[in-house]
Structure 1
Amino acid sequence: MINDFIKVSAACPKTNVADINFNVENIKKCIDTAEIENSKIIVFPELCITSYTCADLFEQEILIKKSTTAIEALNTYLSNKDILVIVGAPLLYNYALYNCAYVLFKGKILGIVPKSYIPNYTEFYEKRWFTDGMNIKSKFVDLPSNKNIPFGTNLIFQCGEIKVGIEICEDLWVTIPPSSFLSLLGANIIVNPSASNEIVSKADYRKSLVSNQSARCISSYIYASSGVFESTTDLVFSGHLIIAENGSILNENKRFQRDNEVLTSIVDIHRLTSERLKNLSFRDSIKFCPFEAQIINFEYTKTEVTNFNRYIDPHPFVPSNKSERDIRCREIFNIQTSGLAKRFSHTRLNKAVVGISGGLDSTLALLVIVKTFDMLKIDRKNIITVTMPGFGTTDRTYNNALNLCKNLGTDLREINIVPACLLHFKDINHPVENHDVTYENVQARERTQILMDIANKEGGLLIGTGDLSELALGWCTYNGDHMSMYAVNCSIPKTLVRYLVKYVAEKEVDKNTSEILIDILDTPVSPELLPKDASGNITQKTEDLVGPYELHDFFLYYFIKQGAEPERILFLANKAFEDKYDEKTINDWFQKFLRRFFTQQFKRSAIPDGPKVGTISLSPRGDWRMPSDASFNTWI
């Protein structure tokens, strides 16, 4: 399972300008550090063998010769090391000097990649010494102890599913970076030996470039830039190190360090493969690639990550950073309200009907409706909120429902469903003391019938309250709470619902309403379809029956988003929740998730319209199209 991952490093060694022996010794120290950390790829800065800022010294024959000798000595040093090393140095080829990345592995130079774009503007004047290599493809060069070395910008270095492509510094900053083509040709790890100087705000732009290019290429991106010991005659370098993956920054160093530095992270190869498989535009772009790749195969002795320290977020739908979470919540509300506003403008209706239970989902739906009506300048009294106490309704949820609706100024109505349900039990000859699924579903369908009929009577839209997690598990009554005229929560998982309600409580309502919302957040999740206990408390807690929603949301994310096999999902879940649930508990709930997900597809095949707000939706018209009678045996 851990073979899906590879540990990689970006390094910035101490250097002296033009002091090759000193530079190589520090490069070796960084390699040793990466090897101790079980890293399999290490990337060094541009021209770090000589240092980047040698200027006209690059025209000195001795510097070029000693650089070549140093590369071969470093290669010998690596003969027994199971790590791919990418290091920057010049190469003299056909009377032209090239700024290159040398790829070293187990005593062999696997290939040499020249820099495609040579900057020659503002503070850069590399063309004084170097020739661009963009047109060099599938050439070969000889060095004293290594012959027929592949040379070109189209090289991809491959070990199994690990495919490494290289671009150098300026290559990333151009309109179409070489990595765009390399990724289309299969490279899933892009490395960039760089020398990028510091000026105000450049670091943020550089980080954005790396992040965005990793997203466009659906790849990992390892960036290593020259450090503070480069010449400071006119410029200062900071040793910026970044490791990104498909738009996310996995790790970044603190710049301006004054010692050897190695930044390490774990890259998820399976995630990248899965994303590329689903992104048909990525596949379609291959036809525009202007050249073919030259594949250089190599083989690691061992690729397993022995010290798995990659952070696995237990709540992948919820940003861990609070400020980012608040931004996300605001964005989600904008999507929900815009979707609902369009539905009202299309139907030319100005009344909404929603069932309010005092639980999280109906609370969120009501908050969306209120925000939409305020935006459309429709009186909140046109929001018909209906509370429908039944056999299991507790005083806590009942009072919260009443107080919330009153505070928000809606048209509050109360209809007790017990008499109607008792009559229905009699009609279908169902014993009232038999608290089976019929007992529960009668109540759910009675509530939906009431809401539908009020919507018809008042000329309004019935707004659905069910969320993504409930749809995934089929935790809804078919043609009961399963149905509505527009479902605003349908692509929001339960773990995120909680934060959305909390966001409103903290940011958008008065103190009294906030206190009600906080109490709703503290109430156990329950459909309240079974009778309450002697003390009037909830007896039917959803998470006792179907399992913790945080686990199911985690399973759902990796099952849908990555198409991950069960072994991988369990591995990740055990890492994410290692301090909260044991392996048996996680496995048992995962089996429950799989069975329910497959057997409840028929409900998802017939769900109302509703807006997609995140990367995962189970709409049968959009993201998820699955046979209702598919078997789960392959996954169990």
Structure 2
Amino acid sequence: MDYIKISSVSPKLKVSDVHYNKKEILTSIRQLSENSVKVALFPELSLTSYTAADLFFSADLLEEAEKALEEIIAFTRNLDMVVILGLPVRHEGRLYNSAAVLFEGEILGIVPKQNLPNYNEFYESRWFTAYHRTHGQQIDLGAHKRVPFGNLVFSAGEYSFGVEICEDLFATVSPSSSLSLQGAEIIFNLSASNELAGKSVYRRDLVKITSAKNIGAYVYSSAGPNESTTDLVFSGHLLISEYGTVLAENERFSIETDQITAFIDIARIRGERLRNTTFRNEAVNPQYLAEKVSFRHASYEVVGFDRKIDPHPFVPNNPEERKTRAREILAIQSHGLAKRLNHLHMKKTVIGISGGLDSTLALLVITKTYQILGIPHENIITVTMPGFGTTDRTYQNALELCRELGTDLREISIVEASLLHFSDIGHDKAVHDATYENVQARERTQILMDIANKEGAIVIGTGDLSELALGWCTYNGDQMSMYGVNASIPKSLVRYLVRYFYEEEFSGNISRVLKDVLETPVSPELLPKGTEDELLQMTEDIVGPYELHDFFLYHYMKYGAGYRKILFMAETAFRGVYDPETIRKWLKVFVKRFYSQQFKRSAMPDGPKVGSISLSPRGDLRMPSDASYDTFMDTLE
């Protein structure tokens, strides 16, 4: 099970009218169950209303709440859904602001509030007792004996969760941190947070940050505007956040019952926690040591999956965020190279320019580096090396870009050298196989390396993250350089960065050239071109669409997602773009190439990490070069 369907509800209610509130809650429970929701969360003290004030001292109100709870418990008997709702609970002469966790006609546990606000507009300590472990870990509630009480982690096997109540989230040390460390992957918060100017933004940020800090999900339900407005107004704010991202949020101030629903990615949470050694080694606050409560759902079938899966996870959707990200990435690349040049006491760089995306981005990064260091562009030695497959379009773009930037442009054809090498090794030039292609790639690398030695310079690599993932590079050819500035930039992001340059940083002829580079099909140009100078070798026809491979790479490296899950996510993200069999076909290619080509990454040169994903053998991926991919291919079969 990878996804769990969760709902957060703020029901329409009446202050201290338990019967009315119960009916509204039951209506929501029925509807959510019919929609295959697995866990439904209701606000703090939702059976009685939060603003009942001194009516909490009324035995009648408390007894009515307990009777209503029994009716709701009975209603859940034949439902495959957990219900979490708030009510006041009496225990050993104390009254607790509590959450009842219900499932299949039973109380799984009662979680009392541990941090009672008693400042400004709040005075909960007037009615309730803040829970402490010395108050016991079990409770008798009506006919339900020895019900787990206190800090609890509820485990369904396929997922687990904890519960805290309103102020517990706002406390300096909150129960949710310790509950997460004890296995809770989702935290549910029953709340009654009143509205003040700007408070909703703070509340939203707090939920986001808490879900990120706990490497989990956080589901929040607050009391709505039908609470008493004697002194305060409540908005019914509902939030579902996963690992720092808000999946769902409502429009506040609905006077009718309001709800939000989202699918939480449990596998993603588990993958992140497995990788995070800080999380694994953190100590649990003894005050929040939890008992485990186990239960099982009848089914985990994903029904009505409507979670949006971003098809381009490396590139932000928001235009302004994309610009900010581009500037930050380019700063990391250029400052990384600046440090390397300063360390080597060098001012010259050598780069092969093909007129393609990767070499164009690398050249632009070098120019930004030279701006930082105050070095003139003529110290950038740009070498165009036309071969058998070089088209006039890419050739002219390469020349024009270098001239416009004022680099030391040199042209060295590799045709004669490659033909001589074919002769030396006895290769038929009419056989256009891997040898035919790799001879050209290695000839170009040799030229660049030798010029660097001659000029006292370093060779700047142009290969990107997507090519490294697929091993789409020639070992000891374009795989090698002295510093690879694009090493952690995937192809989908390379495209955007080049677009950023021509839209934001350049104009005139340079902008025109960059736009044409962006529109040129991706190709290594190692096979002969057509009779009309047309490009015949298209990379994405051979290895598959880079947008798919970048998607596969992101979810595999970021969360350790299984390939069946990646397939499901890709089918959702690219619905209407690629059919399922096409996606499966290219995912098989990805798996085979990712594992078989590790030896190239094991010997990759230094280069700056710019995002959360890198394939550096010194950092993010320590993988044996002879690992088998058979198990993973079997999974896809």
Q: Match for 1:509 among 501, 506, 509?
A: 506
CA offset digits 1:260-285 (Å, max 9, x no partner):
11110001111111111111111111
Question: For this pair of structures, how many residues does the alignment match?
Answer: 633
**Deviation (angstroms), 1:291:** 5.2
Q: 1:384 to 1:147 in 2, by over 3 A?
A: same
Q: 1:452 to 1:499 in 2, by over 3 A?
A: same
Distance 1:558 1:142 in 2: 46
Q: 1:532 to 1:136 in 2, by over 3 A?
A: farther
SS at match of 2:630: coil
Letter in 1 for 2:621: W
In the alignment, what sits opposite 2:231? 234
In the alignment, what sits opposite 1:112? 110
Q: Match for 2:142 among 144, 156, 167?
A: 144
SS at match of 1:167: strand
User: Is 1:473 the counterpart of 2:488 in the alignment?
Assistant: no
User: Is 1:14 the counterpart of 2:48 in the alignment?
Assistant: no
Letter in 1 for 2:391: T
In the alignment, what sits opposite 2:177? 180
Distance 1:22 1:222 in 2: 25
Letter in 2 for 1:216: K
Distance 2:603 2:127 in 1: 67
Letter in 1 for 2:563: P
Q: Is the 8 A contact 1:138 1:150 kept in 2?
A: no
SS at match of 1:113: strand
User: Is 1:553 the counterpart of 2:550 in the alignment?
Assistant: yes
**Deviation (angstroms), 1:370:** 1.0
In the alignment, what sits opposite 2:164? 167
Distance 1:604 1:136 in 2: 56
Matches within 5 A, 1:84-99: 84-99=82-97
The runs of at least 4 aligned residues of structure 1 exceeding 6 Å deviation read none
User: Is 1:256 the counterpart of 2:253 in the alignment?
Assistant: yes
User: Is 1:65 the counterpart of 2:40 in the alignment?
Assistant: no
**Deviation (angstroms), 1:374:** 0.8
In the alignment, what sits opposite 1:280? 277
In the alignment, what sits opposite 1:619? 616
Q: 1:280 to 1:486 in 2, by over 3 A?
A: same
SS at match of 1:634: helix
CA offset digits 1:415-456 (Å, max 9, x no partner):
122122222222222222221111111111111111111112
In the alignment, what sits opposite 1:198? 195
In the alignment, what sits opposite 2:294? 297
Segment of structure 1 superposing worse, 475-484 or 570-579: 570-579
User: Is 1:220 the counterpart of 2:226 in the alignment?
Assistant: no
Letter in 1 for 2:84: I
**Deviation (angstroms), 1:306:** 1.6
Distance 1:276 1:137 in 2: 32
Distance 2:106 2:616 in 1: 52
In the alignment, what sits opposite 1:243? 240
**Deviation (angstroms), 1:136:** 5.2
User: Is 1:485 the counterpart of 2:505 in the alignment?
Assistant: no
In the alignment, what sits opposite 1:372? 369
Letter in 2 for 1:144: G
In the alignment, what sits opposite 2:265? 268
Q: 1:96 to 1:138 in 2, by over 3 A?
A: closer
Distance 1:399 1:501 in 2: 18
Gaps of 5+ in 1: none
Q: Is the 8 A contact 2:523 2:539 kept in 1?
A: yes
**Deviation (angstroms), 1:137:** 6.8
**Deviation (angstroms), 1:500:** 1.2
In the alignment, what sits opposite 1:458? 455
Gaps of 5+ in 2: none
Identical aligned residues as a percent: 58
In the alignment, what sits opposite 1:76? 74
Segment of structure 1 superposing worse, 519-528 or 562-571: 562-571
Letter in 1 for 2:219: I
**Deviation (angstroms), 1:287:** 5.9
**Deviation (angstroms), 1:618:** 0.9
Matches within 5 A, 1:439-454: 439-454=436-451
Calculate the TM-score normalised by the size of structure 1. Answer: 0.97
SS at match of 1:635: helix
User: Is 1:318 the counterpart of 2:315 in the alignment?
Assistant: yes
Q: Match for 1:155 among 152, 157, 180?
A: 152
Q: Match for 1:635 among 612, 628, 632?
A: 632
Q: Is the 8 A contact 1:138 1:294 kept in 2?
A: no
Q: Is the 8 A contact 1:417 1:443 kept in 2?
A: yes
In the alignment, what sits opposite 1:48? 46
CA offset digits 1:126-157 (Å, max 9, x no partner):
112111114357522222232221111x2111
In the alignment, what sits opposite 2:527? 530
Segment of structure 1 superposing worse, 484-493 or 397-406: 397-406
Calculate the TM-score normalised by the size of structure 2. Answer: 0.97
User: Is 1:407 the counterpart of 2:401 in the alignment?
Assistant: no
Q: CA RMSD in A?
A: 1.5
**Deviation (angstroms), 1:214:** 0.9
